[in-house]
Structure 1
Amino acid sequence: MPGLLTRSALATLVVGLLVYAVLPYIYPHYKLLPDLDPRAPSNTVLVPGELHDTGPEVNDSKFGESFARFFELGEGEETDEPVIEEQSSEETPELSDESEDSGESLNSTDVGYASLGAKLIVLSKAKAQKAGALCLNGLPPGYYYRPGWGLGARSWIVFLRGGEGCPTEKECYLRSKTSLGSVHKSRKWRRLGGIMSGDKQRNPEFHNWNGVSLIYCDGFSFAGDRLSPMVYNGTEMYSRGRRVLDAIFTDLLRSGMAGAERVILFGHSAGGLGALLNSDRLRRLLPPGVDFKLLVISFLQPKFPQGSYARGVKKLLQNMATIHNISGTLPSDCVKNYPSKEHACLLPSILIPLQSVAAFYVNSVYDRWSMGNLLRIRCEPNRCKKSKTRNKLQGWSAAFAEQVPSMLKPNDGVFVANCVTHMIALDDRTWFSTKVGGKTIAEAFGDWYFGRGYNHTHLDCFSLDCYPNPTCA
């Protein structure tokens, strides 16, 4: 009898495992919700950021390689040290496989979104065509939305994600086939983290705000306004980032943002550039009296003109400005100062001082993108053995420490940590844990935003001798 019971129990277990394994293939929409899935880590969060694509997996390295080619740099130093690798948060299982153009507007009363994540909203073809707002592949743009509730119902955070850009028609063609050039295969839901985390305990001041995350599909920082399409390999590509941004803001205004009291425009890397370039115009679209501020992540760079670095920056920015036709998006005062070199208005040292909207900047000293693409340094800063490389790193950090304060306006704030990541402040790990002077990014930003205290300049030690900051994720 015991043996029979054992065999019976074993048979039941085998059948159960087979059903569990086969059911998703028989019924494709069957998925355990993330919060109910015992296999999903409890702290897993899908956050806005370059490494978290909302469509098919993208090989980000190929875009980095194209940038390196435009910087006219070689293979970099030969080193036996490990290449700096970025560790991204594990993605939460998606809640739906469907990804059709919804053409719907958000409903700010549907607080059910808050517990599930942010819902994909894709502009209808009629709205997109009327506004001339198209992704690279010619399809309508979209965004993710999670409604606010309670005291946060009239406060908004709008995120512009990063993802570099395409400096040639060929690169734009390749990009148009990925989730950085279309919303067609985007997931229908995504989790929000960092400043948009819904965790009341960790994020008491912003957890219940309306959260919006735009899909970056235009090719260059929501800045292009090219009327005629680019053509490559018989395919048309559209650079309409400025119109995409305006069309989505118009959609948000019609659906609840018109009653906003506070709006934070939040951009990372290429999205940070987009936030700075478009801030004055977007502020004019908002109702009078709205408290409008910027949060800019991983955009700060010092002037560091060393040989091929300076030539590469010039060539890259010239190509970007030309093929995407960004003249109308650049600050008019800057264009007057650089009439024959408009691309100079894209440099942080020139663009940031011209900003009229108050901004809070968050950066790593040894930003991973800058290290790999601008300086071509592949080793961890504290493990680089060659004196030439160490001198270059020290020169970079010294320039950073000297120049960053002079870029900012009196009402700006800044947080720079001695880390090597490009993804700082984009997820719960970094937003709530990375510290400078005893304050986390979340605490420093909250103090600046709500006007608590007087010192909003949080600069870490910039020397190699104190790398890394022990709180770096």
Structure 2
Amino acid sequence: MLGASRMIGRYVIALVSLLVLHMRAEGAINVGITYVTEAVASGAVCLDGSPPAYHFSEGFGSGINNWLVHFQGGSWCQNVSSCISRRDTSLGSSAHMETAVTFHGLLNNEEEFNPDFYNWNRILVRYCDGGSYTGDVEAVDPVTNLHFRGARVFQAVMENLLSRGMKNAQNAIMSGCSAGGLTSILHCDKFKALLPSGARVKCLSDAGYFVNANDISGAPSIEEFYSQVVATHGSANNLPASCTSRMKPSLCFFPENVVEQIQTPIFFLNAAHDSWQIANILAPPDSDPSGVWHGCRTNIQNCTPEQLKIIQDFRMEFLTALRKASRFSPHNGMFIDGCFAHCQSDAQQTWFSAPVVGNATISRAVGDWYYDRNGFHKKIDCAYPCNPTCQNVS
């Protein structure tokens, strides 16, 4: 009974905190855009040939030499047609990006809502290459004007930030959401290698642990999708060599095949019932021509008992793939909640208040792991719908 009372108590605390966030201003700020114009000369450009860009909020006080570089998500384009469809949007061109954005969650500048990282140098890198910063194709078709240069963009942005003071970093985190979360895995060791040898450098992947699972029709649709991404962007030479030396480059887009060789500590933040993965890996529209999964795909509360059973089996596939991240490095951390969600670090409510797993919020778990506080840093939740603090955001 005492354990149950404590569990109920922490859920109540989380929900009260959530209510407070609804009732008062969060102190978030609008942050202007910086265009990395010097990158154009080296061909480090977005899909349309425009310069890469980021939003930079300068650190202050004790955080002046601490850096948090967060990569925006936005899926991938796998062929010329899909890349053209995003070329003239904010996911393919800095000319179409908002000139200012509001920082929330792990980028928030208020100590009350982001106690461990509020006064760091905080950067949001805008995603405009469509290949998780792995592409590098020299030729540009004048008909489509598509530039597949993500690997160059990553290097150019890093060089720009180093010149702005990151070369003196004492503490640093590279993080990202979704396709940006995959970026923070694939490029984690590269990021660490750029920084002073004495710096504390770690990575955070939010909703970036994509699994190689067959869809509901039995087809390996996500594996084929990644194969097309790698071929279109010319990604093979920019994926971890420790993986490409052992298997097809397209398989190295799956974290389960690369994490065992990554030396830098990584924190894996993921919903075990990841809403994007359910909608695009488990039950993509092409696998469901009759539309039986349409309602379930977008809202887990609409799923039938049979569909929930399939989703719970998918959760077990995810946890099996995740074990590689835990087994090969005791320095890795994780927060795997039982929610139906995708990307939880850059939203204020999910970052700071709920969900709660193992008596910790996401911000508390990440801060404890980064600073090596409070011992055990691997938290895995029970299966949906057991956690009443879930926000179930997509």
* Counterpart for residue 369 of structure 2: 448
Q: CA deviation at 1:267?
A: 1.0
User: TM (normalized to structure 2)?
Assistant: 0.85
Match for 1:227 among 116, 135, 138? 138
Q: Does 1:163 align with 2:74?
A: yes
Q: Distance in 2 between matches of 1:411 and 1:282?
A: 17
Q: Distance in 2 between matches of 1:175 and 1:422?
A: 21
Q: CA deviation at 1:425?
A: 2.2
Match for 2:382 among 453, 461, 464? 461
The residue identity in structure 1 corresponding to 2:371 is: F
Change (3 A) 1:353 1:43: farther
Q: Does 1:179 align with 2:90?
A: yes
Change (3 A) 1:165 1:384: same
* Counterpart for residue 398 of structure 1: 316
Q: CA deviation at 1:309?
A: 5.4
Aligned ranges for residues 211-290 of structure 1 at < 5 Å?
Answer: 211-230=122-141, 234-290=143-199
Residues 169 and 230 in structure 1, CA contact (< 8 A), matched pair in contact too: no
* Counterpart for residue 344 of structure 1: 251
Q: Does 1:154 align with 2:65?
A: yes
* Counterpart for residue 300 of structure 2: 381
> Which runs of at least 4 in structure 1 moved beyond 6 Å after TM superposition?
none
The residue identity in structure 1 corresponding to 2:182 is: L
Change (3 A) 1:432 1:229: same
Residues 215 and 282 in structure 2, CA contact (< 8 A), matched pair in contact too: no
Aligned ranges for residues 413-428 of structure 1 at < 5 Å?
Answer: 413-428=333-348
3-state SS of 1:237 partner = coil
Cα shift readout 1:429-467 (whole Å, capped 9, x = no counterpart): 0001121021100111111100012211111002x452x
Cα shift readout 1:174-197 (whole Å, capped 9, x = no counterpart): 111111001113232222111111
Q: Distance in 2 between matches of 1:414 and 1:172?
A: 33
The residue identity in structure 2 corresponding to 1:179 is: S
Change (3 A) 1:456 1:182: same
Q: Distance in 2 between matches of 1:344 and 1:141?
A: 27
3-state SS of 2:145 partner = strand
The residue identity in structure 2 corresponding to 1:305 is: N
Q: CA deviation at 1:230?
A: 4.3
* Counterpart for residue 326 of structure 1: 235
Q: Distance in 1 between matches of 2:27 and 2:235?
A: 35
Q: Does 1:136 align with 2:47?
A: yes
Change (3 A) 1:205 1:172: same
Larger Rg: 1
Residues 298 and 362 in structure 1, CA contact (< 8 A), matched pair in contact too: yes
Q: Distance in 1 between matches of 2:210 and 2:137?
A: 28
Match for 1:202 among 113, 126, 137? 113
Per mean C-alpha deviation after superposition, the further-off stretch among 277-286 and 328-337 is 277-286
Q: Distance in 2 between matches of 1:420 and 1:383?
A: 12
Gaps of 5+ in 1: 1-39, 47-115
The residue identity in structure 2 corresponding to 1:117 is: N
The residue identity in structure 2 corresponding to 1:344 is: L
Q: CA deviation at 1:375?
A: 1.8
Residues 161 and 216 in structure 1, CA contact (< 8 A), matched pair in contact too: yes
Q: Distance in 2 between matches of 1:436 and 1:450?
A: 19
Match for 1:372 among 268, 271, 279? 279
3-state SS of 1:236 partner = coil
Change (3 A) 1:456 1:300: same
Q: Distance in 1 between matches of 2:52 and 2:212?
A: 35
Q: Distance in 2 between matches of 1:143 and 1:274?
A: 15
Cα shift readout 1:106-143 (whole Å, capped 9, x = no counterpart): xxxxxxxxxx432211022xx12332211101111111
3-state SS of 1:360 partner = strand
Q: Distance in 2 between matches of 1:221 and 1:128?
A: 18
Q: Distance in 2 between matches of 1:129 and 1:403?
A: 39
Cα shift readout 1:144-166 (whole Å, capped 9, x = no counterpart): 00000000000000011110011
Q: Distance in 2 between matches of 1:383 and 1:186?
A: 35
Q: Distance in 1 between matches of 2:339 and 2:218?
A: 22
Residues matched between the structures, number: 356
Residues 211 and 254 in structure 2, CA contact (< 8 A), matched pair in contact too: no
Q: Distance in 2 between matches of 1:345 and 1:453?
A: 34
Q: CA deviation at 1:278?
A: 1.7
Match for 1:117 among 19, 22, 30? 30
Q: CA deviation at 1:281?
A: 2.1
Q: Distance in 1 between matches of 2:27 and 2:95?
A: 23
Change (3 A) 1:285 1:459: same
Q: Does 1:291 align with 2:200?
A: yes
Aligned-residue identity in percent: 30
Cα shift readout 1:267-304 (whole Å, capped 9, x = no counterpart): 11111111222222232222322211101000224453
